[in-house]
Chain A
Amino acid sequence: NAGVTQTPKFQVLKTGQSMTLQCAQDMNHNSMYWYRQDPGMGLRLIYYSASEGTTDKGEVPNGYNVSRLNKREFSLRLESAAPSQTSVYFCASIIIEESSYEQYFGPGTRLTVT
């Protein structure tokens, strides 16, 4: 049981390049999330997927696209990277049950756009 995994751990892009951040969870959770973390801003929600086949915008979706490939995998794509997208990206999955609420975060991807 690996929990939530993210690849890559580090990435440097040039402005205008594209890339996809991968996230997978092996806990059979329905809901998955992408956040970005910037100094002094906490974590801000980019997109989330409440269940397989659905995605919704979060607080800061501009410049990003997502794909919920299946129940396990939720990818984040930057089509044309900009320096403002330099950040640490965290994927998370959540299980909500009647008497419990559990969140699991991946280790993060540190992205630098030059």
Chain B
Amino acid sequence: AQSVTQLDSHVSVSEGTPVLLRCNYSSSYSPSLFWYVQHPNKGLQLLLKYTSAATLVKGINGFEAEFKKSETSFHLTKPSAHMSDAAEYFCVVTFEDSGYSTLTFGKGTMLLVSP
């Protein structure tokens, strides 16, 4: 079965320290992968996407993610957290066998940033 797993439901960091949000997917087909951010009571904003081009993807607000096929992972990182990064983050995947027509969302990781 195809699935996406966000390994941490909550991640706490201090402002100025690195951020790592982990995501693994399970599929034998070629995936396209995305990270979305959702601030409290707001909609979804696309941070970055991987669609079979460069494996290191740079997104907005200093975030980046690396697609590692051998590890079936697409972890999100940022060198230095800012208070405004506090939000919920979703790893999202779509697969070639569905014609990339349906998205599967991870359950989300809440990022908490302390001063």
Contact = CB atoms under 8 A, between A and B. Distances in A.
Nearest to A4: B43
Interface string A89-114: 01010101001110101111000000
B57 to A, nearest CB: 13
B101 interface: yes
Interface residues of A, number: 24
Nearest to A51: B101
B105 A42 contact: yes
A48 interface: yes
Given A50-B101, A94-B101, A101-B51, A42 B108 contact: yes
Contact of A43 (B49, B101, B105): B105
Nearest to A104: B46
B9 A45 contact: no
Interface in B54-111: 90, 94, 99-103, 105-108
Which 3 pairs across A and B sit closest by C-beta, in order of nearness? A42-B105, A43-B105, A42-B107
B32 A101 contact: yes
Contacts, number: 47
A99 B100 CA distance: 12
6 contacts: A33-B103, A48-B101, A92-B103, A94-B103, A101-B49, A103-B46
A31 interface: yes
Nearest to A30: B101
A106 B32 CA distance: 21
A92 B108 CA distance: 18
Contact of B43 (A50, A99, A105): A105
Contacts of B94: 101
A40 interface: yes
A42 B106 contact: yes
